[in-house]
Structure 1
Amino acid sequence: MTLATHVRTLGRGPGRSRSLTREEAREAMGLMLSGADPHAVGALLMLLRMKGETAEEIAGLAEAAQAATGPLPPIDLDWPSYAAGRTRGLPWFLLAAKLVADSGRRVLMHGWNGPDGAVRTGVAALNIPVATTTEGAKTALEAGNLVYMPLEEMHPALFSLLSLRGVLGLRSCANTVCRMLNPGRARASVQGVFHPSYRLLQADAAQLLAWESLSVIKGGGGEFERHPGKGVEAFGLRGGARWQASLPELIDDQMRLGDLTFPMTALEALWARDEAPTFARAMVLGTAALALETLGDSGDADDLWHQRTRALPEKV
């Protein structure tokens, strides 16, 4: 079967077209990743966008994309980072991931942020290990429970699909598939979105994929990062069942994330010396608390903050 078969299913026209089944979506992604005709790839991605992806389609697409990744060491928390091109200030959520890792949980971050280099620069500034191989990820996790894997190194074929945004001029389902990739097969994941409608879509797809726990929020610039001065609607799974919660604001401050205009060195200053505005610290602790709750950890993020290992790891 060629990809054209699935293009026909989606594009036959009113009354004749339909969504792909989970199995068809899985097959379609396998064909795209293995080098299907680029015209058919573009047609299928844009037809899915125009129609609007279903949870079954996202689950099937993600299954095929995950199957193409190599085995990784056991992971406790999957943390995708795929927001791009939005002004949002520093990636303070990296410190939240460090705090979760400091609590003893293994955290795998993976991503690509397009023209926005802030996340990669922050990863380097905080000496978060970057791995391009399974062995490198294993070494980093054993040393400090935290590793970042660049999508272009971890999954070049999926990266190529994601990069078609520059050709097609529009986002595609590849953006959602990347967030649902979960390359370490973790039972828990935290995800940020920019468009609120994707929160339920990703939660429903995760349930089809038999994930145990998931938290999806409309976060800072599309990342999993909680604004401490605003209430947050969270969606996802707990115990494999659909879950939703309204989280109240943590502090009385409506500051915009982009208003925190600090140099990248501010990330290290907050982690190592606790030097930062109350707003930034509250953002880190609130984000970490939700990540820990996703893991079923009832520990206090404030206590973990005071007990954290302040020294940054050596550069690798």
Structure 2
Amino acid sequence: MGQVERQPRGRRVGRRFLALAALCTACESLFFYHLNHLLVSQQVASQQEIQAAMHRRAQVELAELKRQYPGVTVSPNGQYATYVTSDASGWYAVHVVRLDTGAQVSEASNLYPVQYVDWLGNAEVFVGEERSPGNLELNTFYVSNGLQADETAASVPVFSNLSPDARIVKVTYSTETNDIFVLIDAGGSTEVYHVGTMETIQPVTVPPGYIKNIAMTQTGDNLYLEINQGGQWNVVRLYQTSQTSSYTAEFQMDSQLVKSNAALIGVIGNTLYYGTVNGNGLVTAVYRQTANGDQLVRQLAQPTLASEIAISTSGSVALNPPAMTEVEV
């Protein structure tokens, strides 16, 4: 019979020790991996709980502001809110607070009666003021310190010699060209004004009819109107061509009917959102306009006022949002 060669006892023990050490290392790695996973999960859960608590705190703060004050708006990033106060002397102030803490960030004070508040990004705020009946101005101030444009030698657009009941209804602007368009209601009729980069003010040539809303694309190529023409609300697009010019006495733009029996919901980036309306003028469905045609975004369960519909930056529809980024006061 053949003999079986046996390994030395020391070598067998060494290999067993190495195998045991490898097993221990693997178990240790699995243990620490599991422990790290638990810690990360706990951190994520804690962060989510903190964010949820901050969101609840912000909603409570917002509801309380709306209960007490006019002019409540929310910044596009959802971090800040504005509200308006006035004193016995007739001067107004716009306050900015952090919604997660309720602490005031800044205040623009000694303002004329405030008609309109809107956000210029997350760092500045538009304020429409009535200097005197028929004389309006569009001021701005910095959220960080409340410093106003007329305090920094920046010119403030002034709209003069209007009807005594004139009011600023809507402001829209291009983030790329810095063009601003202002919708003003005066004596039951409406006018649209263009404010250029040098703060020059020009009336805009618009189709006949009462204009309820305006919105501008980010690139400044298109200005959309919601206009009543012959008793019917339509969405109309204004645009410039080589034959129209911004250097004329009136800001010249061509017009095109986008959708009849429709309400202007808003513009996100360069995308138009509009709503089809029923016989009562209420929105029944929201659409967006793309290069491939109009797309249904949401069919509404109940007909809704266009003013109670908002579009998020991601393009989703929000009904009856707690506060808008702009508001008439």
TM-score range, shorter chain: under 0.3
| TM-score, normalising length: structure 2 | 0.26
| TM-score, normalising length: structure 1 | 0.26
- Structure with bigger strand share is 2
- Structure with bigger helix share is 1
Specify which structure has the bigger relative contact order, considering alpha-carbon pairs within 8 angstroms and separated by 6 or more residues.
Answer: 1
